[in-house]
Amino acid sequence: MLKPNLRRTCAALAAGTSLALALTACGGTTKKDVKDDNASAASAGKADPNAATKKGLTVGFLPKQVNNPYFTTADKGGEKAVTELGSTYKEVGPSSATDTAGQVSYVNTLTQQRVNAMAVSAQDPGALCTALKQAMSNGIKVVTYDSDTSPGCRNAFVSQAGAEDLGRTEVQLLAEQIGYKGEIAILSAAQTATNQNTWIGYMKDELKDPRYKDVRLVKIAYGNDDAQQSFQQTQGLLQEHPNLKGIISPTTVGIKAAAQYLSGSKYKGKVKLTGLGTPNDMRKYVKNGTVDAFELWDPAKLGDLAARTAVALASGQITGKEGETFKAGTTTYTIGKDGVINLGKPTVFDTKNIDQFDF
């Protein structure tokens, strides 16, 4: 934490001079700082679970991508919670999920605007680190949600569901659908996305189990959370691997584009597709027989928890250390290893239950 007069100097620098100069002058960009990215960023201060929830704060949300319906729903959940808690919500962010430089400059903008806390879904685990550390050294609380950076670059990570659970269950869902036999592929988001890469790691591990001995992962393609690129990548997968039996797409943009392609092709119902999608995007493809089952958590609840975590950090009720607890709405959450807070379990959607969901 910077001394108050240094904080003022930093604020003046950030407001009046080039941001690069301000950032260098205010620390957070040295090699030494970046070195312990794996240590938790939980501040040395002690949490006071009984501290009052502060009002009048400003909480900035910075999703991977602003025009992605998944983030629209998640951030609306965040906005509702921030407003309910008596603080001000704002959202900034790039329109492409591969605009890492854009995300860095949005972190710097929020820092310059002196928000009290920010909730960030990282496009890339490393690229944002220096800017996030800069924010934290200016007293801003940093929560990652949906897609993490390194533990040392934020105070806490609000995870949508256990990463291991998500990776393994997607393989289980697809393997069941293809009768545990045949070639499969993954259609992911950006090649640098922390969340997708973590899930893919667990998918590969799950595939090592002997019950998948006849299932072969032939390719991981990247559609960059762009509808057109994901559509073309699906087409390319089928051309390159005519015997493909199934695709896992752990991204709401990817699974929708893949479903759209399959549904209008000779592969409809023959090449199985599962992964992470929103019920509203996927309803049509479940009903027309393109998709049997897929999964997701409720993005609005993720945004809600990210907002409540940000406010709890800014109020001093938690610091992000393992074992601390705090109340978000009616639920009490315990902070786990490396400052990770888990929202809960994902829901599997199929013809039987999809009409009960509207997001």
Q: How many residues touch ligand RAM (CB under 6 A)?
A: 14
Angle between helices 194-206 and 163-177 (to 10 degrees): 50
Q: Which stretch binds ligand RAM (CB under 6 A): 10-18, 213-221, 249-257, 262-270?
A: 249-257
87 or 147: CB nearest ligand RAM: 147
Q: Phi and psi for 188 in degrees, rounded to 5?
A: -100, -170
214 or 350: CB nearest ligand RAM: 350
Contact positions with ligand RAM (CB under 6 A) in 45-104: 64, 68, 70
As measured in angstroms, the least distance from the Cβ of 181 to ligand RAM is 27
As measured in angstroms, the least distance from the Cβ of 280 to ligand RAM is 13
Q: What is d(CA 239, CA 242) in angstroms, rounded to the nearest whole number?
A: 6
97 or 314: CB nearest ligand RAM: 97
- 251 touches ligand RAM (CB under 6 A): yes
Pull the structure tokens for residue 134: 């800069």
Q: What is d(CA 116, CA 135) in angstroms, rounded to the nearest whole number?
A: 10
- 131 touches ligand RAM (CB under 6 A): no
- 249 touches ligand RAM (CB under 6 A): no
As measured in angstroms, the least distance from the Cβ of 303 to ligand RAM is 12
- 267 touches ligand RAM (CB under 6 A): no
- 338 touches ligand RAM (CB under 6 A): no
- 225 touches ligand RAM (CB under 6 A): yes
Contact positions with ligand RAM (CB under 6 A) in 177-196: 189, 193, 195
Residues that bind ligand RAM (CB under 6 A): 64, 68, 70, 121, 146-147, 189, 193, 195, 225, 251-253, 276
